[in-house]
Amino acid sequence: MTQAPQMQITPPVLAPDAAAAPLVSIRDLQMIFQVPGGQTVALQDANLSIERGEFISLIGPSGCGKTTLLRLLADLVQPTGGQILIAGQSPAAARQNRQYGYVFQAPALMEWRSVLANVMLPLQVMKVPGDRQARAREMLRLVGLDKFERNYPWQLSGGMQQRVSIARALAFDPPLLFMDEPFGALDEITREKLNLELLRLWRETGKTVIFVTHSIPEAVFLSTRVVVMTARPGKIEGIVDVDLPQPRSDDTRELPRFFEIATEIRELLKKGHA
Ligand SMILES: Nc1ncnc2c1ncn2[C@@H]1O[C@H](COP(=O)(O)OP(=O)(O)OP(=O)(O)O)[C@@H](O)[C@H]1O
């Protein structure tokens, strides 16, 4: 099994009490978009605390504000109300201090750069000191693609491209990983394989993951908690603890408890639709 690499990046300076606080704290969060002819309440009264090492899935119908929540956490949009703290810092400070990596639905790799050069890119842009090439190689090893570092993205399958984008998001060694439906476009078997790989990576690195999905089985399989969201207005309908044993394997999907938790999530989703 691949070992977690030795990290060489200088840790960011945090507020003294940051270690004691939840890694992510979301209080009364609201996001209203002004649109022609009115407004869209993308998120209303969202409250959520996430501890270090959790694997949180956000699940809900299209338009319930899952991506908006990730974008707010990542400081890509500013909330119209409420507060977010990441390791005790504002999202803007957390972004500057490289507290998170972001994996998008599409891998968004640069076609003219090799796999290795793609993973090195954020380190170059942010002028991270040290041996950037060695660091990028470590991340490729972690996602099982070290033999493909000289290839170009178009020479890889969709699943491999998404693994490259995960390696790129991990390049800074951030404590947090935001993942917006990263496996949504992949076939079922590839998705299940990458789910297992992601859990291995999560265990080995101790990252905290916030993962958006439309799939109830994917959410149950991956998560320690599932945040169920509903639309119009977008809000958190409920939070389901996933008390399935770790480490999870293909057998996990056959456990009666797996189906019970899936049913609980489905009922919450239906309640939100009603
Ligand atoms: N920049 C924007 N301007 C106006 N409205 C927006 C903007 N971004 C999102 N919205 C609206 O906010 C709501 C929530 O959108 P969001 O993309 O967060 O939903 P989602 O749950 O991620 O949906 P999906 O599952 O389809 O990706 C939607 O009604 C969307 O149209």
The protein residue whose alpha carbon is closest to atom 5 in ligand 1 is: 33
- What's the pLDDT score for residue 18? 57
CA of 75 to the centre of ligand 1 (A): 16
- What's the pLDDT score for residue 5? 42
Integer Cα distance of 5 and 11 in angstroms: 15
Integer Cα distance of 229 and 235 in angstroms: 6
CB-ligand 1 contact for 65 (6 Å cutoff): yes
CB-ligand 1 contact for 184 (6 Å cutoff): no
Closest CA to 54 of 225, 170, 177: 225
The protein residue whose alpha carbon is closest to atom 6 in ligand 1 is: 33
pLDDT digits (tens, 9 = 90+) for 147-161: 999 999 999 999 999
Ligand 1 atom with the shortest distance to the CA of 77: 1
pLDDT tops 70 at residue 19:
no
CATH of domain 45-99+175-274: 3.40.50.300
The protein residue whose alpha carbon is closest to atom 25 in ligand 1 is: 62
The protein residue whose alpha carbon is closest to atom 3 in ligand 1 is: 33
CA of 43 to the centre of ligand 1 (A): 9
DSSP line for 140-199: HHHTT-GGGTTS-GGGS-HHHHHHHHHHHHHTT--SEEEEESTTTTS-HHHHHHHHHHHH
Integer Cα distance of 165 and 162 in angstroms: 5
- For a mutational test of ligand 1's pocket, the pick from 66, 183, 228, 229, i.e. the residue with the most ligand atoms closer than 8 A to its C-beta, is 66
CA of 47 to the centre of ligand 1 (A): 19
Burial 225-238 (b: 16+ CB within 10 A, else e): bbbbbbbebbbbbb
Closest CA to 50 of 100, 103, 105: 100
DSSP H helices in the chain: 66-73, 91-96, 115-125, 132-142, 158-170, 188-205, 216-222, 256-273
* Strand order across the 38-50 sheet: 38-50, 24-35, 81-86
Q: Which amino acid is at 231?
A: A
Ligand 1 atom with the shortest distance to the CA of 69: 18
What's the rounded mean pLDDT across residues 89-103? Answer: 94
Burial of residue 91 (number of CB atoms within 10 Å: 0-12, 13-18, 19+): buried
Asked if 54 contacts 210 with a C-beta cutoff of 8 angstroms, the reply is: no
CB-ligand 1 contact for 40 (6 Å cutoff): yes
- For a mutational test of ligand 1's pocket, the pick from 62, 181, 183, 273, i.e. the residue with the most ligand atoms closer than 8 A to its C-beta, is 62
pLDDT digits (tens, 9 = 90+) for 114-128: 999 999 999 999 888
Where are the domains positioned within the chain? 45-99+175-274, 108-173
pLDDT tops 50 at residue 4:
no
Asked if 242 contacts 264 with a C-beta cutoff of 8 angstroms, the reply is: no
The model's pTM is 0.91
Ligand 1 atom with the shortest distance to the CA of 181: 27
pLDDT digits (tens, 9 = 90+) for 215-268: 999 999 999 999 999 988 899 999 999 999 999 999 999 999 999 999 999 999
Within a 10 A sphere around the Cβ of 206, how many other Cβ atoms? Answer: 10
pLDDT digits (tens, 9 = 90+) for 27-70: 999 999 999 999 999 999 999 999 999 999 999 999 999 999 99
Asked if 115 contacts 148 with a C-beta cutoff of 8 angstroms, the reply is: yes
ipTM over 0.95: yes
